[in-house]
A = this chain, B = another copy of it.
Amino acid sequence: MALIVQKFGGSSVANAERVMNVANRIVDTYKQGNSVVVVVSAQGDTTDDLIEKAKEINPNASKREMDMLLSTGEQISISLLAMAIQKLGYPVVSLTGWQIGMKTDSHYGNSRIHKIDGERIKKELDSNHIVIVAGFQGINKYDDITTLGRGGSDTSAVAIAAALHADMCEIYTDVDGVYTADPRIVPNAKKLDSISYDEMLELASLGANVLHNRSVEMAKKYNVNLSVRSSLNRNEGTVVKEVNKVEKMIVRGVARDNDVARISICNIEDKPGMAFKVFSLLAKNKINVDIILQSIGRDGMKDISFTVNEGNLEKTVEILNENKDSLNFEEIKSSTDYSKVSIVGSGMVNNPGVACTMFEALYDADINIHMISTSEIKVSVLINKKNADRAVNVIHDKFNFA
């Protein structure tokens, strides 16, 4: 007799057969006496197809019109999924972002949720309807359609769960849950029964590809219990929730991120304010910088190295070169030949030996470390891309997860 929010991604509803599978799954939850709200993404390649259509006409179309276009993808999914549930003989209603009052700011293409007016959903739940909601979309104060950008449907699901005070928000994906490492890389990776929000946040941002950061941040903020489960089987997934007892915890998982570009600003003047100048310039241009390494000054000069997503490499180099005169450096070097490998665990801050163990594993495997970054609950290293999978395995073995 719980209120459960379930979220299914685009591949889970890619064709008629999969839509029926998802419908059956939803109905099972409903038949057990639960109230069910389902958030669904656009089918398979629909969004890409729509983007293609738009590009053919105008590659520089406004983001407002792109959102008007792209939001149809989820509207198609919700109606088809509702039809599938009707076929199974259960009461259902589909609702768009504007119909549930999903209010966002006006950053078309990448909006943030302001609030959800949950009245319509509550009314439908009171009438015993299964409620199917379009993920990824909302409306701004002008009543214009917005989309939430990457990870949008996960975020929609968590926001709805928060607004309705749902007992659980189940995120269905193509993996069984959160693992100690990517099972495709580390065959003996072990599924975690539960994980804390902070650990999940680090794993998500480190390329574990299970949940998008935004949704985990929101879940943490509103204390929404998340469950990551497979849409392909009935296995218990991993629960993401506030974990209080961190004393016993050590490393929870190993993650790898290949989407890394390293940029070095060589021979920049070694005086106060140079790092500020560089990174405020990049922040102003909305470029997220990850690991930063600054060399020790020598002869009044130093090097500043940092990593960005590969997609931002070109733009970053361009911006730096445009400001070569004011920054006064010698040259920019860049490479995409790196991967970031990280270990995550809430107990790490109280276990100084953890980083050492990681470094030892890499040393034993003769893998060179190019950059290091640490936080309270993670240690990341930058290594050559070709060594990445091997690095994940040797670290995973070293920490003895199995």
A143 to B86, CA, bound (A): 21
Residue contacts A-B, CB under 8 angstroms, 8 given: A54-B79, A57-B87, A61-B87, A64-B93, A68-B79, A69-B79, A69-B83, A99-B143
Task: Tell me if A57 and B72 are in contact (CB < 8 A).
Answer: no
Question: What are the residues of chain B within 8 A of A83 when measuring CB–CB?
Answer: 54, 57-58, 61-62, 65, 69
**A131 near B: Cβ within 8 Å?**
no
Task: Tell me if B82 and A65 are in contact (CB < 8 A).
Answer: yes
Given A76-B50, A143-B99, the answer on whether A84 and B68 have CB atoms closer than 8 Å is no
Extra pairs beyond A65-B83, A66-B79 (15, CB < 8 Å): A19-B57, A20-B57, A50-B76, A54-B80, A61-B86, A62-B83, A64-B93, A65-B79, A65-B82, A65-B94, A68-B82, A68-B96, A72-B75, A75-B75, A96-B145
Question: What are the residues of chain B within 8 A of A86 when measuring CB–CB?
Answer: 58, 60-62, 65
**A364 near B: Cβ within 8 Å?**
no
**Beta-carbon nearest neighbor of A82 in chain B:** B65
Q: Annotate A287-322 by CB proximity to B: 1 below 8 A, 0 otherwise.
A: 000000000000000000000000000000000000
Question: What are the residues of chain B within 8 A of A56 when measuring CB–CB?
Answer: 16
A8 to chain B, nearest CB (A): 15
Task: Tell me if B69 and A53 are in contact (CB < 8 A).
Answer: no
Interface residues in A55-110 by Cβ distance below 8 A to B read 56-58, 60-62, 64-66, 68-69, 71-72, 75-76, 78-80, 82-84, 86-87, 93-94, 96, 98-99
A145 to B98, CA, bound (A): 11
A53 to B82, CA, bound (A): 13
Task: Tell me if B87 and A58 are in contact (CB < 8 A).
Answer: yes
Question: What are the residues of chain B within 8 A of A58 when measuring CB–CB?
Answer: 83-84, 86-87
**A386 near B: Cβ within 8 Å?**
no
A120 to B145, CA, bound (A): 14
A21 to chain B, nearest CB (A): 12
* Closest A-B pairs by Cβ, 4 of them: A61-B83, A69-B79, A72-B72, A68-B79
As for how many copies of this chain the complex holds, the number is 2
**Beta-carbon nearest neighbor of A66 in chain B:** B79
Task: Tell me if A53 and B68 are in contact (CB < 8 A).
Answer: no
A141 to chain B, nearest CB (A): 13
A86 to B78, CA, bound (A): 30
Task: Tell me if B69 and A76 are in contact (CB < 8 A).
Answer: yes
A135 to chain B, nearest CB (A): 15
Specify which of B57, B71, B84 is in contact with A80 (CB 8 Å cutoff). Answer: B57
Given A65-B83, A79-B65, A79-B66, the answer on whether A120 and B143 have CB atoms closer than 8 Å is yes
Question: What are the residues of chain B within 8 A of A65 when measuring CB–CB?
Answer: 79, 82-83, 86, 94
Interface residues in A118-156 by Cβ distance below 8 A to B read 120, 143-145
A365 to B252, CA, bound (A): 92
Task: Tell me if A69 and B62 are in contact (CB < 8 A).
Answer: no
A226 to chain B, nearest CB (A): 28
Task: Tell me if B69 and A16 are in contact (CB < 8 A).
Answer: no
A27 to chain B, nearest CB (A): 14
Task: Tell me if B76 and A72 are in contact (CB < 8 A).
Answer: yes
A352 to B99, CA, bound (A): 58
**Beta-carbon nearest neighbor of A50 in chain B:** B76
A263 to B295, CA, bound (A): 94
Question: What are the residues of chain B within 8 A of A75 when measuring CB–CB?
Answer: 68-69, 71-72, 75
